[in-house]
Each structure stands twice: as structure tokens, then as C-alpha cells.
Chains A and B, each alone.
Chain A
Amino acid sequence: MAMTITEKILARAAGKTRVIPGDNIWVKVDILLTHDICGPGTIGVFQQEFGKTARVWDPDKVAIIPDHYIFTRDVKAHRNIDTLRQFVQEQGIRHFYDPAESTYRGVCHVALPEVGLVCPGTVIFGTDSHTCTHGALGAFATGIGNTDAGFILGTGKLLIKVPKTLRFRIDGTLPPRVMAKDIILRIIGDIGFDGASYCAMEFTGDAIAALSIEERMTICNMAIEAGGKNGIIAPDEKAFEYIRARTSAPLDPVYGDPDATVEHEWRYDAATLVPCVAEPHVPSNYAPARDRTGVKLDRAYIGSCTGGKITDFRAAAQILRNHKVSVPTFLVPATVEVAEALLSETFDGRSLVQIFADAGCEEIAPPSCAACLGGPEDTYGRTSGSEAVISTTNRNFIGRMGSKNSRIWLASPLTVAASAVTGHITDPRDIS
């Protein structure tokens, strides 16, 4: 019987020839990802349940990427990183990127593919809801809690339900200055904040094929903002090229059957999509940017696993190279690799770092999650009052960036940059 890409990956991981949505199956795990805020609790569960001296099922399949509370004076945050250090040492875990060492990477969802740990057809669980990002390279990837993760540490397996698939087909060509973020915010706006609850979100069509891997990550990253279990895009030559540049691991991709049935298919003509925002306080509050030019802003923020990749900064620089910002503009590269590219990449002889400095942006922060999730009081870019913020991040919940009284508009890096220039929400097509 025909299966979707998600069903096929799960069937293979369960050692079955077929699965159907709703089946509860034990799957073998290829990668378990955790970080500094859920890692210590996961380790706690593992040691409580399997014993203090228990060994993890496979140290090479565990990736521990501290990223959330790194540049802070918070004492517990440092204790938590120490807990991770001790654990990786005891267990011989190689994929650990210590904030105090040159191996530090930054935000886990951008770092994991960078270090070559995301391969098509594999099963990835992470103690972070945005683990769904990794579907951009054709993996099944989803977020779990500490207890499930502790279970995986001990067994390498997890009992999961096979999700139904919702397919989003975006054909045609995206207009200039319309980005992946505009695609996913439109979809979430259409289907609602829980519109894909428990479902796989499969993205396909020529507009998706035309996107860079980083842009595909933006789309899969936000599957969770519609309640999706995973986001997934069939791997292609672009994906293989991205992965081959980072790992020599043999690739064994999985593709969906063309005649597989899906729960529902939505179709979009890319040409009809426009730069947009998600208004406070849910990501499904869609509005075209041109309809919200009356919204005055106090700050702009470019960063996070959704909007802090090199492609996001390149997009912002396209606008900021010609302008000055009129509101404080905070920049947080997702990873060290992105931060280095900001120095080495140039537009008309100026590095991106120089362009942002000339435009009057705040000094670029070191890579981490920073104010994407508020965090400890001393976090860079954290809101403290009733700021109106336009941000490339993925969540505009009440209090998400710190203060309960601040309001967050989500947008693409182009829209954020254009709005930073004018001080109100601005369609990037309306600025040079």
C-alpha cells in the first residue's frame, strides 16, 4: 500500500513494511537532541529510571547542544551546563558543543544540520518543539519532553503514533521580497494555531523546490506553530549537496509514494503570496504587511532558529545596506558559523557586519537563543516594558520575549528590516 514520506520513514524505523496513521509503533531513534534547559532534566530522568551508572544506548547518537541560557550571569544556568559537561564525559558523548570551548556552535536547530547530523530518512527526536526544523532535509523529526527523552537515552526507542499527513503544495514562483516566512505564516493563518495538531505537514511544489535549505528550515521550523507533529520536505539534490558538504555518512533517503493518500491537500499559487506579519499573541494572526502600516514599533529583532540563519541576515542586509534604522535593532546570529559568515560575506565591498553597523543596528550579539524566549533577566534584547517588537522569531506569545506587556509581530527578515527603517510595519516591496 502506498505511503507518504513520513509513514515510510516511520515504517522503516519500526521494522515494518507498512504503517497507517493512528498505528502506535516503537521506532528506533537515529539522533536524540537536547540542550541546556531540558538536558539536565532528561539526564535526571535517565539516571532515576535506569540507575546512576547506566550507559546511554549509543553515545554517538546523542547530540547535546547548549544554546538557550549561555551568555548570562544566572548561576543555575551555569550549573545546568556543568551537568551536561559531566554527563558527556561520563558517557563518552562526542557531539557536545561546549559554550566555553571553541567547539561552541549556538542554536541547536541550526547547529544540528551544520554538523552533519541530519540525514534524510532518519528519525530525530529532540527535547525542543522546534526539532521539526530537521524535516527540511527529509528526516522525520519532532519534539518530545524530558521523560520521553530519558527513555530514549536508555533504550534508543520510543512508542509513537503514526500521524496523518496534511500536504501543502506551493506551485509557481514567489514574487520578489516574499520569503519562506511569508509562506508559513500564511499557511498557519489559514489552518489555525492548532490546524495541524497531531499531523505531519508535508511541503511540496516548485516554489518549495526553489527554496534554499535554510529557507526550507524556516518553513519546517514553524510546523509546530500550527500544532504539527513534524514538518517535512522530500530530499533533493540541493539537500544532498548541503549534507555531503558536512558529513561522509552514507545517505539512505526515503521518498513518499506518488499515490499515497493524505488527509488533506492545500494548494497555493506562490505568485499570490505577500509579505506579512503574525500579530500578537498567536502565530496564526495573519495580516499582510501593507494592511498594518499603522503599527508603530519600538524595536526590531533578527535572530533565532527561524530567522537567525545566514540567509536571513543576507535578506536583511539587502535592505539595510541602503538605509538607517529608526528603532533599536537587535541582531543575534543563530550559530558561530552564521556569525563568521557575517564577517566574511560582503555586499559591494562591505561585510554584513559593517552594513549593519553603518545602518545603526545594535552591536551584534554572540550566537544563542537570546531574547527569542525571554530568558534570564540579563538576556540580550529581552523586553522589559510595553515594547512593540517586530521579530524574525517563531512565537509571539504573551511574555515570550520577556515582558508580559510587550507585543510581538512575527515577520520575514526582509519585512523586519524594512520596518526597522521606517519605525512602523512596512512591506519590504515599498522600500528600495
Chain B
Amino acid sequence: MNATDTQIIRGKVYVAGDNIDTDQIIPAQYLNLVPTIPEEYTKLGSYALCGLPDTCLPFIQPGAVTSEYTILVAGRNFGCGSSREHAPIALGAAGIKAIVAESYARIFFRNAVATGEFFPFETARRLCDTFQTGDEAILDLKAGTLTRAPSRETFALNPLGAVAPVVAAGGLFAYARQTGMIGKKG
């Protein structure tokens, strides 16, 4: 997807804690799926976050292939662990449009930017303690805020900073073409 198509992301929030690693986001037995094959991209989405402990609420309902949640709110070091791009792709394929975390592991963040699957926002506040899974929320990309509906509490997100132009262009390839690093497609 091109993450820049919209200015407002609205939907249900799924809340996760600290150190959600890539094995929890997409367990290793599903890494035989190749993200650039469309059916397998969808399949990856259907397994997103199935590695979370069984005590967590399911991110995807049994039998569903996508998630009812659009925004993921997490704590520190989200996406730590492996460089598998299957991880951000699984979340994107499941329907996540934005993640708001206190911090990200570097490779996961970079893969999120490079693929343009969703907006990886950081926030100085520990919103994973404020939000609850199932809350309705509105993320305003332009204003850089996350609002909890219906209470209308609004939280400021950190600007995307140096990666903003890459995200805005729609990922690494689009950015490289825009800036003349590589030629037009095809």
C-alpha cells in the first residue's frame, strides 16, 4: 500500500507491551511464505501477532484473515529481534495502518519505512498504559496526534523526522526515484 493516501486513520486500537519481538509478530514456521507472492502476503497477514502469549487477546479472530484493529499501540523496543521483513508486512497485510510505540528496534523501523506498510510513530508518553485494546481512536497524520474517541483525549506524537520524506514518497524505492538515485520503473 502507499501509506500516504490518507491524512486520517480511524479505527480500533490493539495494545501491546514492551519488547514485542519479531518471533511474536510472525513466528518462524511461517517464514516459508514469500511476501511478494500475493496469496502468501495475505496468508502472512492472517498469522500476524499469533506468537503473542496465549494470555493476550487475539489480534485476529479465529477463522479471520485480517484484524479488526487498525492502530497498534505499544511500549518500548517494538519489533526487536530478526530482520525478517515478514514482520512489518504481516502487520500491514492484517490491516494495521499505524503503530504508535515508545520506541522501535532499528531494523523493524527501517523495514516499516522501506515497505511503506504503515506509519511507525513514536511517542514520548507511555500510551500502552493509557489505551486499552478495543478503544476507538483517530490518528491525524498532519497534526501528528492520536485521539481517543469518544473521550477526545488527544496525545501528541513525535514527528517522523528524517524518515518523513521516505514515508511520504511511499517507501524506499519511490523515494530513490523521486530523488533521482535510481531511474523510473520499467
Interface of B, secondary structure class, is loop
B38-52 vs A, Cβ < 8 Å mask (1 yes, 0 no)? 000000000000011
Assembled-state Cα–Cα distance A164/B53 (Å): 34
Kindly identify, within residues 349 to 403 of chain A, every residue whose CB is under 8 Å from any CB belonging to chain B.
373-377, 395, 397-400, 402
Residues from chain B with Cβ under 8 Å of A397 in the complex: 21, 23-24, 81
Q: Is A68 positioned at the interface, with any CB of B under 8 Å from its CB? A: yes
Q: Judge whether B77 and A193 touch: CB under 8 Å.
A: yes
Contact of A197 among B37, B103, B162, B185 (CB under 8 A): B103
- Which of B105-113, B123-131, B132-140, B152-160 makes up part of the contact surface? B105-113
Assembled-state Cα–Cα distance A16/B186 (Å): 32
Q: Judge whether A45 and B36 touch: CB under 8 Å.
A: yes
- Which of A59-67, A104-112, A139-147 makes up part of the contact surface? A139-147
Residues from chain A with Cβ under 8 Å of B106 in the complex: 197-198, 227, 229
Q: Judge whether A377 and B29 touch: CB under 8 Å.
A: yes
Residues from chain B with Cβ under 8 Å of A77 in the complex: 32
Which of B33, B52, B77, B107 counts the most chain A CB atoms within 10 A? Answer: B107
Kindly identify, within residues 149 to 199 of chain A, every residue whose CB is under 8 Å from any CB belonging to chain B.
151, 154-155, 157, 159, 161, 193-194, 197-198
Assembled-state Cα–Cα distance A377/B27 (Å): 12
Q: Judge whether A128 and B32 touch: CB under 8 Å.
A: no
Assembled-state Cα–Cα distance A127/B87 (Å): 13
Q: Is A129 positioned at the interface, with any CB of B under 8 Å from its CB? A: yes
Q: Is A69 positioned at the interface, with any CB of B under 8 Å from its CB? A: yes
Which of B84, B103, B181 counts the most chain A CB atoms within 10 A? Answer: B84
Q: Is A80 positioned at the interface, with any CB of B under 8 Å from its CB? A: yes
Assembled-state Cα–Cα distance A330/B176 (Å): 47
Residues from chain A with Cβ under 8 Å of B31 in the complex: 37, 68-69
Chain A residue nearest to B174 (CB atoms) is A49
Q: Judge whether B51 and A404 touch: CB under 8 Å.
A: yes
A41-52 vs B, Cβ < 8 Å mask (1 yes, 0 no)? 100110011010
Contact of A395 among B27, B81, B171 (CB under 8 A): B81
Q: Judge whether B80 and A44 touch: CB under 8 Å.
A: no
Q: Is B28 positioned at the interface, with any CB of A under 8 Å from its CB? A: yes
Chain B residue nearest to A196 (CB atoms) is B106
Q: Is A24 positioned at the interface, with any CB of B under 8 Å from its CB? A: yes
Chain B residue nearest to A198 (CB atoms) is B106
Interface size class of B (residues with CB under 8 A): 35 or more
Assembled-state Cα–Cα distance A44/B34 (Å): 8
Q: Judge whether B173 and A404 touch: CB under 8 Å.
A: no
Residues from chain B with Cβ under 8 Å of A24 in the complex: 162
Residues from chain B with Cβ under 8 Å of A76 in the complex: 32-34
Q: Is A268 positioned at the interface, with any CB of B under 8 Å from its CB? A: no
Q: Judge whether A147 and B114 touch: CB under 8 Å.
A: yes
Residues from chain B with Cβ under 8 Å of A377 in the complex: 29
- What is the size, in residues, of chain A's interface with B at 8 Å between Cβ atoms? 55
Residues from chain A with Cβ under 8 Å of B37 in the complex: 44
Q: Judge whether B83 and A145 touch: CB under 8 Å.
A: yes
Q: Judge whether A155 and B105 touch: CB under 8 Å.
A: no
Chain A residue nearest to B183 (CB atoms) is A50
**B27 → chain A, closest Cβ, in Å?**
6
Assembled-state Cα–Cα distance A386/B77 (Å): 26
Residues from chain B with Cβ under 8 Å of A51 in the complex: 185-186
Tell whether A143 pairs with B107 under 8 Å between CB atoms, given A44-B36, A397-B81. Answer: yes
Assembled-state Cα–Cα distance A370/B44 (Å): 22
Q: Is A40 positioned at the interface, with any CB of B under 8 Å from its CB? A: yes
Contact of B111 among A26, A48, A145, A224 (CB under 8 A): A145
**B166 → chain A, closest Cβ, in Å?**
8
Q: Judge whether A155 and B85 touch: CB under 8 Å.
A: no
A76-B33, A227-B77 known, 5 other contacts, Cβ within 8 Å = A148-B111, A151-B173, A151-B182, A155-B176, A398-B23
20 contacts between A and B (CB under 8 A): A37-B84, A41-B34, A41-B86, A48-B36, A49-B173, A76-B32, A145-B83, A148-B110, A151-B176, A155-B176, A194-B76, A194-B80, A197-B77, A224-B107, A227-B105, A374-B27, A375-B29, A395-B21, A395-B81, A400-B28
Chain B residues in the interface with A (C-beta under 8 A): 19, 21, 23-24, 27-29, 31-37, 51-54, 76-77, 80-86, 88, 103, 105-107, 110-111, 114-115, 162, 171-173, 176, 181-182, 185-186
Chain A residues in the interface with B (C-beta under 8 A): 24, 26, 37-38, 40-41, 44-45, 48-49, 51, 68-69, 74, 76-77, 80, 83, 126-129, 131, 143-148, 151, 154-155, 157, 159, 161, 193-194, 197-198, 224, 227, 229, 282, 373-377, 395, 397-400, 402, 404
